Structure 1
């Protein structure tokens, strides 16, 4: 048990980074943002799995050792408790007056003693040798039962987590409002996903999801009051409209859809030097509570010569931008004054050259390739521009960029955890076991009835300050009505000798 407690403490200690640092299985965009902001410490923390704590080898090792330790603790205790439940209470000790509480009075019928004890739900056994009748009673097994239920419930929680890890799955995705951005539940449509060890791609449930509208309400200080996403779900050939809110997921057959965050996606139209227009919707990531957002818009396929069908590889265009839902009085601070779109502005810095998409290396969709900028293959193209929705700007080569407006996006987590029912049952059992453990009091009461009189003694098996009062109540219930107040002896456990204590136990 000492080992289990140490491991439980280590498990709680190991879970702290999972609560402090962003986790990939919950919010991969926040992990990327943290890595970009902390380029010195970020890679080191990532090397030790601190952005994926609950899937790390060291967390799994502590988890497995705790599981083994709990099994090693509970199996012997369960066996001993099962034996104690069927075993008869022991014989009374020779000196009942040496117990924690004792009394003596005149002879009483054994049936009356048994009736009084059984009314109080004591388990009793009667032994008779000649004229001497000995009654042993015991009560309070629920304390150890509660202890075992509590620890088995804790074990079931570990089983539920492990079962969910093996047979569950999850995926995260940014979902932009509009029919054009609807997606179906396949691995290719996720920004980040993880499958359990026993789950394959073909095991994913079939459904499609589309966000029609997103609504956010804020207090005057910018604190959010409500996030609400109206979505359409196509499942089993039916289309249903549902509402997705924070802490109120959309429950589907085989998966739950949870709302994690939201932001803005500017819609831009770029007209190249041949007069061809290209439109893109780019997801910008919020960097503060006022929804000041950073992002990029790229146009890798522009400036295609209609006569030759070829384009100059060095004529790709990209824009690094900052979006302010509500422009402040001093736009140079680059911080929004309010998270809702009251007076939006989009600041763009044009770049042209080689974006780096054809190099085959993985690139972030939220930033331009810094390696291309450092190498001089991607350079600034004119001065920054600030646009309102509907505004346009002409670049130095005669091309034009237009800010058409914004769409809102939400980051959602879609997951299936079959271990949740096990964990729910384990949580209920854990609370029930804890209550039983705290309220149960193990104690024994003995009676020895002879023709000359009756002697009674009692002993609590656990810390029970009210035992003497309960013992007095039982003695009064079985004493002869005409008898005087019985002589009582309340002695501390230290007064009993070690040998007599062992005999009682």
Structure 2
């Protein structure tokens, strides 16, 4: 009684209540169940959908900025949810890590089970083979040992694995199709290999994009040069373990850009082929080399791949101020807005006098005037025209706030009007010059230079992921098409008076298809025919 009174103050656990250890064990079992792994895999696939629908800052920062301008109300919500950088967001990483833990905890025990099954011997002979779905029996006058030895020889030739020791009825146990278990083993391991490959690429790799001007030999325009340094990228998305010293040193120049357009049929206006000849140099002292950069044909320099992913036009514009001085001159990148390559761009000339000049408008690669308005009729550069509005005054460049080269801040600027009081619109064809009113200066449309957008990336885990995918396919094919089968052959002498007559040895053969649903009638007949054929040869 004293012991009961002594421990009466200790907390008692109600029936069915889980302690900390039991709760942790239950949570681990739930996390590492195959059902949870499948749910997390589905969640990961769904979580990747926004990354393919919404522009990503690590892939195309320009498109992200355009999307934000077009959807000002949704932008704060998307930014809070991390939808502009889905694969770097905390919620996506949480799903990925939970999936990894679930798969490892789920696959390792099953891998051990498959490994044991791969080494296991065929099971002993059942006592009643007649209960098997595929079964037959016949009589022979040969001794039991002769029949069993004949069965062992026939099954070995058919690549069955025989049971070494048998403590059941006198008979032979055989099985084949063990590679099915090996296929399951390979498939489960390959899933982890693929995830590890993606994780390595995400942590130790990077991806960036940059627009580079292409040369135009017919106009004497030289192509732009890119140097592989972090400051040269328009947008850069490095992995957590990727450093500035990991960039491969190289430079390249885009010498030209050539497009083959389809001009007939329903596909007219569709590009058939893109080709960007480049000259590149590895390292500081490397020799110059040339390469034709094409879609799906990247240039590999060291561990880095250079992909051609886009193109557009950069009209060469000259802006002179009221004093006749050049305030702006050079190719200006215009961004395509639709498949017809109607392109948007801005020009900023803050040093113009008497006031800064800003131009905002579109480029029509091949235009026609319809009802007084220009429209583009073909994406190829055949008859270019730029149509731009003019602004003067404060362009927001002196506020100290970084401003995109593709955005013109007109909040503090004044629109330039024409003689009738409406905002001035400049429509310039190639080679034309227009004088601005009020002595502001002039704008000239001198030429058009193509540009290309290239994606530069390192993916150190891609070989690991590719190897995992190949292993997964091989393992899946093995688990689907290899059919494990078990064969049992028993032989026994009849008892009593029947043992003295011919055919007194009863032979039974049973088959079992472990994958289910297979018709083993032909296999059973083949085995029986092999056994009986050997008996007839020995008699002969």
Between Structure 1 and Structure 2, how many residues are aligned?
A: 467
- Determine the structure 2 residue equivalent to 1:353: 393
Q: Distance in 2 between matches of 1:361 and 1:277?
A: 26
1:447 is paired with a residue whose SS is: strand
Distance change (3 Å), C-alpha of 1:116 and 1:79: same
CA distance in 2, matches of 1:83, 1:180: 63
For residues 61-140 of structure 1, the aligned pairs below 5 Å read: 61-105=94-138, 106=140, 107=144, 108-127=146-165, 133-140=170-177
TM-score (norm 1): 0.87
Q: Is the 8 A contact 1:441 1:464 kept in 2?
A: no
Say whether the 8 Å CA contact 1:318–1:352 is kept in structure 2: yes
Counting only pairs closer than 5 Å after superposition, residues 192-203 of structure 1 correspond to structure 2 as 192-203=235-246
For residue 23 of structure 2, what is the aligned residue in structure 1? none
Q: CA deviation at 1:280?
A: 3.1
Q: Residues 126 and 135 of structure 1 are in contact (CA less than 8 Å); yes or no, is this contact kept in structure 2?
A: no
Checking the alignment, whether the CA contact within 8 Å between 2:485 and 2:513 is kept in structure 1 is: yes
Q: CA deviation at 1:482?
A: 7.2
Q: How does 1:185-334 map to 2 (within 5 A)?
A: 185-220=228-263, 221-236=268-283, 237-278=286-327, 279-303=329-353, 315-330=355-370, 332-334=372-374
Stretch of structure 1 that moved more, 81-90 or 288-297: 81-90
SS at match of 1:22: coil
* One of 429, 436, 449 as aligned partner of 1:388: 429
Q: Work out the CA distance in 2 between the residues paired with 1:58 and 1:137.
A: 52
Query: 1:274 and 1:129 mapped to 2: Cα distance?
Result: 109
- How far apart are the structure 2 equivalents of 1:267 and 1:189? 22
Higher mean displacement: 62-71 or 326-335: 326-335
For 1:185 and 1:254, locate their aligned partners in 2 and report how far apart those are by CA, in whole Å.
13
Compared CA separation, residues 331 and 245, structure 1 to 2 (3 A): farther
Match of 2:496 in 1: none
SS of residue in 1 equivalent to 2:388: strand
Residue 16 of structure 1 corresponds to which residue in structure 2? 49
Structure 1, gaps ≥5 residues long: 304-311, 484-505
Q: Separation in 2 of the partners of 1:331 and 1:324? A: 16
Gaps of 5+ in 2: 1-33, 216-221, 418-423, 494-504
Which range is displaced more, 223-232 or 204-213?
Answer: 223-232
State the superposition RMSD in angstroms: 2.1
SS in 1 for 2:84: coil
Structure number with bigger Rg: 2
Structure 1 partner of 2:527: 474
Distance in 1 between residues matched to 2:315 and 2:254, nearest whole Å: 17
The answer (yes or no) to whether the contact 2:59–2:235 under 8 Å persists in 1 is no
Give the match for residue 3 of structure 2. none
Matched, 1:145 2:221: no
Q: Answer whether contact 1:126 1:133 (CA < 8 A) is retained.
A: no
* SS class of match (1:137): strand
CA contact (8 A) 1:390 1:405 kept: yes
Map of 1:421 onto structure 2: 463
- Of 49, 62, 67, which aligns to 2:82? 49
Cα distance in 2 between the residues matched to 1:329 and 1:299: 29
